[in-house]
Amino acid sequence: MSELLMRLSLSKFTFTGNGTATARRYKHVSSCQCVLTEDKQRIVVKNGKDALDICRVVNGMWQTSGGWGRIERDGAVDAMLRYADSGLTTFDMADIYEPAEDLYGIFINRVRHERPPEFLEKVRGLTKWVPPPVKMTRSFVSDSINVSRKRMDVDSLDMLQFHWWDYSNPGYLDALKHLTDLKDEG
């Protein structure tokens, strides 16, 4: 998915009347498609063999980072369940939005136990990885991603967004290589 995000950021979209958006690319980047579902509530982003089905409205979890006061865990998870029950099933968080990934982990477990199995198939957790500017070894990248997986209580991430603070530090290229390898491995 990191490739997909990089490609999307290099694009201009052309929308058609049938709800399909095709990204026009720079010549070194292939195209992807965004297809609106029949119910018009979800969108499928496709890039080659990759596809991600998400709600068209994404619940941002930045406010759970604690900068706005104490987060009441049970109340936050109850609110997430109400959003999901209303069809708003995609949540955006980051490793640095403590405790957003932990809240998602509690939420997804409640979904597993309190909702039908087909409901779980619609829920998506999108997270960001914001690493410090250190040497990006395979083990550092893998360990960092595993922290998010464990906090979110998932076997694999639905989508990982990558944020790098300083592009004069070329370590992001190593990080992207390792992320791509991890994605290819599942």
Question: Which CATH number characterizes residue 74's domain?
Answer: 3.20.20.100
Q: What is the token pair recorded at 18?
A: 């049938």
pLDDT at residue 67 tops 50: yes
The residue segments making up the domain with residue 41 are 1-55
Task: Answer yes or no: is 101 within a domain.
Answer: yes
Tokens 């009347």 map to which residue? 17
Name which residue leads in pLDDT, 32 or 126.
126
Name which residue leads in pLDDT, 167 or 12.
167
pLDDT at residue 24 tops 80: no
Task: Answer yes or no: is 19 within a domain.
Answer: yes
Q: What is the token pair recorded at 180?
A: 């791509």
Q: How confident is the model at residue 25 (pLDDT cuts 50, 70, 90)?
A: very low
Query: What's residue 23's pLDDT?
Result: 47
Amino acid identity of residue 25, one-letter, is R
153 and 128 co-located in one domain: yes
Task: Answer yes or no: is 108 within a domain.
Answer: yes
pTM attached to this predicted model: 0.81
Task: Answer yes or no: is 29 within a domain.
Answer: yes
47 and 115 co-located in one domain: no
Q: How far is CA 109 from the centre of its chain?
A: 18
**For the chain, how many structural domains are there in total?**
2
43 and 70 co-located in one domain: no
9 and 99 co-located in one domain: no
Task: Answer yes or no: is 186 within a domain.
Answer: no
Query: What's residue 14's pLDDT?
Result: 46
Q: Residue 12 and residue 15: Cα distance in Å, rounded?
A: 10
Query: Average pLDDT of 137-163?
Result: 96
> Residue 178: helix, strand or coil by DSSP?
helix
Query: Average pLDDT of 1-6?
Result: 40
Q: How confident is the model at residue 36 (pLDDT cuts 50, 70, 90)?
A: confident
pLDDT at residue 150 tops 50: yes
Least confident of 33-42, 135-144, 176-185: 33-42
pLDDT tens track for 78-110: 999 999 999 999 999 999 998 999 999 999 999
36 and 84 co-located in one domain: no
